[in-house]
Amino acid sequence: MTQWFRRKSNKINTISKKDTKEGTWIKCPNCGAVLSQNFLIENFSCCRSCNFHFKMTPKEYVKLIFDEYEELWENIKSQDPLNFVASKSYKDQLKKYNEQPGVSDAIRVFSGKIHTMALNLCVMDFSFIGGSMGSVVGEKISRAITLSQTKRIPLVIICSSGGARMQEGAISLMQLAKICSKLSEFSSKTNLLITILTNPTMGGTTASYAMLGDVILAEPNALIGFAGQRVIKQTIGEDLPEGFQKAEFLKEHGFIDDILARDKMKETLFSLINFFSSKEDVKFNEA
Ligand SMILES: [Zn+2]
């Protein structure tokens, strides 16, 4: 019976596991298509069959958006203000993450150019404690706001977050107030803030800067909300509509302005900045 499974022709080549390096092939969690690592790199980490958007690192976003750039405030790290210990110590957790090159917290800030236009960009990193918003995220965004305001440069924040960082307790919650008060001054002076919500953008991040953009965009199928579906369902005691908290549903109901696919990200940002800078009272880069 095993004869049935024997290869009869030598012309058929199959790739055995030994021939592929570990991690070369990735299965799409949405449709099951098998994609090569190289394909994903060339196609902005989007699935060929269903356009599922895989998570991208801050560096990948930066390469996608900027023609030239530099990173700002790379070495700001959390000091564990509460000496927090639960199942593991927060200090040890931070130490482990900080060992990776270039990773200091759940956000990285860059200043650069798209074609000729200057732009400041904050990108959240979900792989760092779930993209949680702690004191470092608050501080870096606040500095980016101040810098953009002083130099009259548009600011873009790419959000990806589970919410506030529990390990920093109330200090983490204070970041909402800190960032929002900064943004209130920022937007009163005809500056431009564009937020891009990626999968997932939840909790304190949605409750503050993510929803305060002059233009709010989201990646296709991104989960966006404050509390999770189960909590809401239990609280209101009702079934929730299909696709509730997905980017497409939120666009239909006016919470966000548009869905932005990754291959259009650079050019859309460029035309948005051009559009706003053509207004009479807005002049960017004229500090
Ligand atoms: Zn897929």
**Which residues lie near ion ligand 1 (Cβ < 5 Å)?**
28, 30-31, 33, 47, 49-50, 52
Q: What is the pLDDT of residue 2?
A: 60
Ligand 1 centroid to Cα of residue 39, in Å, is: 13
Calpha distance 224→245 (Å, rounded): 5
* Contacts with 203 (C-beta within 8 Å, 6 or more apart), sequence order: 133, 161, 162, 163, 164, 226, 227
Q: What is the pLDDT of residue 63?
A: 95
Ligand 1 centroid to Cα of residue 57, in Å, is: 19
User: How many helical (H) and strand (E) elements, i.e. helices and strands, does the chain have?
Assistant: 9, 9
Ligand 1 centroid to Cα of residue 52, in Å, is: 5
Ligand 1 centroid to Cα of residue 196, in Å, is: 22
Q: What is the side-by-side strand order in the sheet with 258-259?
A: 68-72, 107-114, 117-124, 155-161, 193-201, 215-218, 258-259
Residue 220 corresponds to which tokens in the numbers above? 């296709």
Per-residue pLDDT tens over the stretch 30-64: 999 999 999 999 999 999 999 999 999 999 999 99
Q: What is the pLDDT of residue 286?
A: 53
Ligand 1 centroid to Cα of residue 220, in Å, is: 13
Q: Does the structural domain 55-277 have CATH classification 3.90.226.10?
A: yes
Beta bridge mates, 223? 246
How is the chain split into domains, by residue range? 22-54, 55-277
- E strand or H helix that includes residue 95: helix 90-98
Ligand 1 centroid to Cα of residue 143, in Å, is: 38
Per-residue pLDDT tens over the stretch 84-104: 998 889 999 999 999 988 899
Ligand 1 centroid to Cα of residue 28, in Å, is: 5
Ligand 1 centroid to Cα of residue 37, in Å, is: 14
Ligand 1 centroid to Cα of residue 51, in Å, is: 6
* DSSP per-residue letters across 222-278: -BB-SS-HHHHHHHHTSPPPTTTTBHHHHHHTTSSSEE--GGGHHHHHHHHHHHHHT
Ligand 1 centroid to Cα of residue 53, in Å, is: 8
What are the C-alpha distances in Å from 177 to residues 41, 172, 222? 38, 10, 25
Low-confidence ranges of the chain (pLDDT < 50): 13-20, 287
Ligand 1 centroid to Cα of residue 35, in Å, is: 9
The three-state DSSP-derived secondary structure of 116-184 is: CEEEEEEEECCCCHHHCECHHHHHHHHHHHHHHHHHCCCEEEEEEECCECHHHHHHHHHHHHHHHHHHH
Calpha distance 216→196 (Å, rounded): 6
